[in-house]
Amino acid sequence: MNTAIILSAGRGRRMKSEISKQFLMLQNKPVIVHAIAAFEQCGEIDEIIVVVASEELVYFKTNILNKFHFKKVKGLVAGGLERQQSAYNGIKSVSRESEIILIHDGARPFVSQETIISCIDEAKICGAVSAGMPSKDTIKLVDLNNIVISTPPRERVWQTQTPQVFKHALILEAHETAKQKGIMATDDAMLVEILEHPVKMVAATYENIKITTPEDLLIGEQFIKGNSK
């Protein structure tokens, strides 16, 4: 059994909008609807858990669940103050029978079916994977004064995306260990890395962007128009 946890509890201050970024409209549907639909349509996904800010639970039920009738959404969970807490709340809510857990940003509406399936297949083998793409740009590591420390080889630098996919027991252990030790990370794969368990990168697409700024919405509209031709 495979469960997708979709994180939709962030505010997205960089969007400069009164509405949370995942509820902004993209081709006449909220961004989050596109994200959920990708997993709803995937035959490898058995259940979906959506994590929403506690103050937006009623809004989500009324404007998303009641309007779009997703059959695989089996749980709606209140998020925490930080992304890591929201992911942990989602993990605790999945079915016991679930063997593979996918954690995905609700603000990434363009994840492909091929990416979802490839990540699941790899996670079954190695236990932990992250979708991503090789960086197109040269990356500079800098110190606190923005002075360059080093330049890693570009061919070894990837831009991390979601979904990040794990065996159930492994990601649960990673989150519980982090909670006990007071460790905070910017993504779930980092918590698995702390356990010294390898995380494999799986190539996704450059279209699998996160809607973060107003410009991203414009780019997303073009992706949809291009795919509809």
Token code pair at residue 192 = 């698995």
CATH code for position 86:
3.90.550.10
Query: Can you tell me the distance from the alpha carbon of 134 to that of 154, in angstroms, rounded to the nearest whole number?
Result: 8
Question: What SS3 class is residue 100?
Answer: strand
User: In this predicted model, what pLDDT tens digit does every residue of 36-54 receive, in sequence order?
Assistant: 999 999 999 999 999 999 9
Predicted confidence at residue 53, as pLDDT, reads 92
Predicted confidence at residue 223, as pLDDT, reads 85
User: In this predicted model, what pLDDT tens digit does every residue of 155-180 receive, in sequence order?
Assistant: 899 999 999 999 999 999 999 999 99
Query: Can you tell me the distance from the alpha carbon of 38 to that of 112, in angstroms, rounded to the nearest whole number?
Result: 7
- Structural domain tally of the chain? 1
End-to-end CA distance of the chain: 35
Predicted confidence at residue 13, as pLDDT, reads 56
| pLDDT tens for each residue of the chain, 229 residues long | 999 999 998 765 555 556 677 888 888 899 999 999 999 999 999 999 999 999 999 999 999 999 999 999 999 999 999 999 999 999 999 999 999 999 999 999 999 999 999 999 999 999 999 999 999 999 999 999 999 999 999 989 999 999 999 999 999 999 999 999 999 999 999 999 999 999 999 999 999 999 888 888 888 888 887 775 5
Cis link prior to 214 (omega < 30° from 0)?
no
DSSP 187: S
Query: Can you tell me the distance from the alpha carbon of 112 to that of 39, in angstroms, rounded to the nearest whole number?
Result: 9
Cα dihedral 109, 50, 114, 187, rounded to 10, equals 80
Domain that holds residue 13: 2-227
Predicted confidence at residue 11, as pLDDT, reads 63
